[in-house]
Structure 1
């Protein structure tokens, strides 16, 4: 793969201008709220009373500079690749032979998801682990997300993101072989890397299993497969509205959320509540500051519209692992109890031919790196331990 002169990464520090902070506060102060639909709070989407409270805290209590400092505590870079400036964290491991690990987030997440898990992966000894398990973590902002966005840039689906990350890891950073981990869109990217670049991957690990969603895929399902197909039917009926609008009319939706911070918060916080292991109380799992750090990054970068693009690409293109193809690199998976879908191993094994580790977790949901950073880090270490070259 020849790309001419390899671009040079430039150190990056995030600093949102003071006038953008003032503009956000003014917009939040002018929020026009809808009325609350009859029935239970959250039954029809984001609860009005909850959002009023969250918006009030965002305006008067939330300290963006503190969130910014948390991100800036880690080494960050930007590099011109694929017609965009790709942002990533690059945190060196502390151990005798750290393994390079690509961490890929998803939607509606960001690199803020990884701030608790990164030190557990890069410096396991600090947490009572073995320094021989250390990773050097490379965690990009997905193209079109957050700090990997500027207006008018090319759009990327999961396949193009995988190609770009392969160039980042190999051509730019010089890692001949590396490990990869992801959830949500990150699991699609990770799977695509395993399929497309098997010679570069030590193995892949995921906390969402990205299988085709076809309830008719199995003629005579086992009880576990039947349970999953029931989950899939309910998910498709009740939970996929966001996918259809983001996957068919992303531009129309982007106007409201690029203009209204309260609208953006309502759209994102509903997913943090619905997909996490929070029992209906989103702040029992995520602090308000964690929720608003992530939402604020979407707001300040203006990237919500472009973050919808992978849904459009997925809905209008082939599956990232083509029909009939398999992913043959060593594969690990951990299934968290409130993940949006939990397919059985028997179905996963049709696509992933070398599943080495399949763990069923006690607690946690879709945002595993935030919800259960210690448990996920333990799983990642355990899976890759025998694969280190």
Structure 2
């Protein structure tokens, strides 16, 4: 299938009934023996999440989803599902938005209106975009890969072909989390086609000499990175080594899936009250339900297994894959693995802006959509 076809979603009623039955007979362990979160998501918080899921209206989410033009096409042997929303403005810049784990295309739902139709949202026509929002392979309604090799580079090549198929020769790219890896590769592989790049998690690491010459701000970032590496990357380790073993629980148990995803959805967001509290309970349930009904717990986890076998690690390897496309970065304080500007400048050779925000975390499309819209507009203005 090389053609592009409309792809409305409609989960069968039997799947909704099956979920209700599973949620009604969830078996939870005893409460954790500490109250500091060091044993993982607490039984009280998970209970609250499951109660919200029992009340969740999947059909309402389907209506929201299907109100956005949704399509499917075959790329490199895999059926890829994506939203494609054209702007009413004739000179709109095509822009591909790529999400990460444990997120989904739902991260960008609130940004679609302001980005495609800025005039209707108090903005200027010059800031209009045609949006292409694909689900990563194995995520959402994309086909789940049956072979190894679907990594950031292969996905970036598929995105380039998708933009060609849609009639876009030149376009912008935005991403965070895995979306930052894919967007970085896209800019590296077809720099003549990428007008500019916007990232909320630039892929850059310090060199050994950076540790010796770090100022106070960089030392704080390094300390946070080291703390995260000691206590935080459980999902990277488990999904990178045993995604299939983990996947049985994620596909078979709604409580297991909810606990695994919610741990990261809350842990990597800016949950301070003054920041808005992070990813809301309603947003978490929408996302978890999407993973459940698409049965993608294992296929999404395999992204980490693939990455450990494909990505070149360390600052030297990153810098060897330099990006020359104009790049704008927006950094949020809730990001668990912070990056300093001078580390990024070695890889992103044309760094046009570097904005560190006061509030927000790893999921700005959910946490701070207005800020993300403004930052994307600024990054691509005049491009």
Q: Which TM-score band (shorter chain)?
A: over 0.9
How far 1:216 sits from its partner (Å)? 6.6
Q: CA deviation at 1:194?
A: 1.1
CA–CA separation in structure 2 for the residues paired with 1:295 and 1:117 = 20
Equivalent of 1:310, from 284, 297, 303?
A: 303
Q: Secondary structure at the match of 1:115?
A: helix
Partner residue of 1:101 out of 95, 101, 107:
95
Structure 2 residue matching 1:227: 3-state secondary structure: helix
Matched, 1:299 2:295: no
Name the CA distance, whole Å, in 1 between partners of 2:70 and 2:224.
Answer: 39
Which residue of the other structure, out of 337, 344, 351, is the alignment partner of 1:341? 337
Mean Cα deviation higher: 103-112 or 308-317? 308-317
Equivalence for 1:83: 77
Closer/same/farther in 2, CA of residues 299 and 378 from structure 1, 3 Å limit: same
Deviation of 1:322 after TM superposition, in Å, equals 5.1
Moved more, 80-89 or 210-219: 210-219
Equivalent residue number for residue 145 of structure 1: 139
Conserved 8 A contact 2:111-2:369: yes
Q: Which residue of 1 aligns with 2:272?
A: 279
Whether contact under 8 Å (1:149, 1:303) holds in the other structure is no
Return the match for 1:251 from 227, 244, 247.
244
Matched residue, 1:3: none
Q: Secondary structure at the match of 1:174?
A: coil
Q: Structure 1 residues 211 and 8, CA, compared in 2 at 3 Å: closer, same or farther?
A: same
Secondary structure at 1:198 match in 2: coil
* Whole-angstrom CA distance in 1 between matches of 2:290 and 2:150: 19
Conserved? CA contact 1:276–1:282, under 8 Å: no
Structure 2: runs of 5 or more not aligned? none
1:24 aligns with 2:19: yes
Residue number among 161, 169, 191 corresponding to 1:167 in the alignment: 161
Q: CA–CA distance in 1 between the matches of 2:275 and 2:105?
A: 20
Q: Is the 8 A contact 2:204 2:318 kept in 1?
A: no
Deviations 1:285-314 (A, max 9, x none): 434332111101111111111111221122
Which of 229, 236, 254 aligns to 2:222? It is: 229
The equivalent of 1:129 in structure 2 is 123
How far apart, in 1, do the equivalents of 2:149 and 2:255 lie? Answer: 25
C-alpha distance in structure 1 between counterparts of 2:292 and 2:275, whole Å: 20
- Aligned pair count reads 380
Q: Which residue of 2 aligns with 1:378?
A: 374
Task: Give yes or no for contact 1:203–1:330 (8 Å, CA) kept in 2.
Answer: yes
Q: Match for residue 31 of structure 2?
A: 36
**Hey, what does 1:195 align to over in structure 2?**
188
Cα separation, 2, equivalents of 1:22 and 1:217: 55
How far is 1:120 from its partner? 1.2
On the 8 A contact 1:330/1:356 being kept in 2, the answer is yes
Conserved 8 A contact 1:95-1:123? yes
Q: TM-score, normalised by structure 1?
A: 0.93
> How far apart are 1:17 and its partner, in Å?
0.3
Work out which of the residue numbers 324, 327, 330 in structure 1 matches 2:323: 327
Deviation at 1:167, TM superposition (A): 0.7
Q: 2: CA distance between counterparts of 1:229 and 1:143?
A: 32
**Unpaired segments of 5 or more residues in structure 1?**
1-5
TM-score by length of 2: 0.94
Change (3 A) 1:70 1:216: farther
* Cα contact 1:94–1:131 (8 A) shared by 2: no
8 Å contact from structure 1 (residues 215, 232) kept in 2 = no
**How many angstroms apart in 1 are the aligned matches of 2:238 and 2:281?**
27
Shift of 1:151: 7.0
Q: Per the alignment, do residues 193 and 304 of structure 1 end up closer, same or farther by CA in structure 2, a change over 3 Å counting?
A: same
Name the Cα RMSD after superposition.
2.0
Verify: 1:350 aligned to 2:346, yes or no: yes
Contact 1:215 1:229 in 2 (8 A): no
Q: Which residue of 2 aligns with 1:117?
A: 111
Deviations, residues 73-105 of structure 1 (Å, cap 9, x unaligned): 100000011121100000001224110000000
Distance 1:220 1:91 in 2: 46
Distance 2:311 2:288 in 1: 30
- Residue 293 to residue 281, structure 1, CA distance change in 2 (3 Å): farther
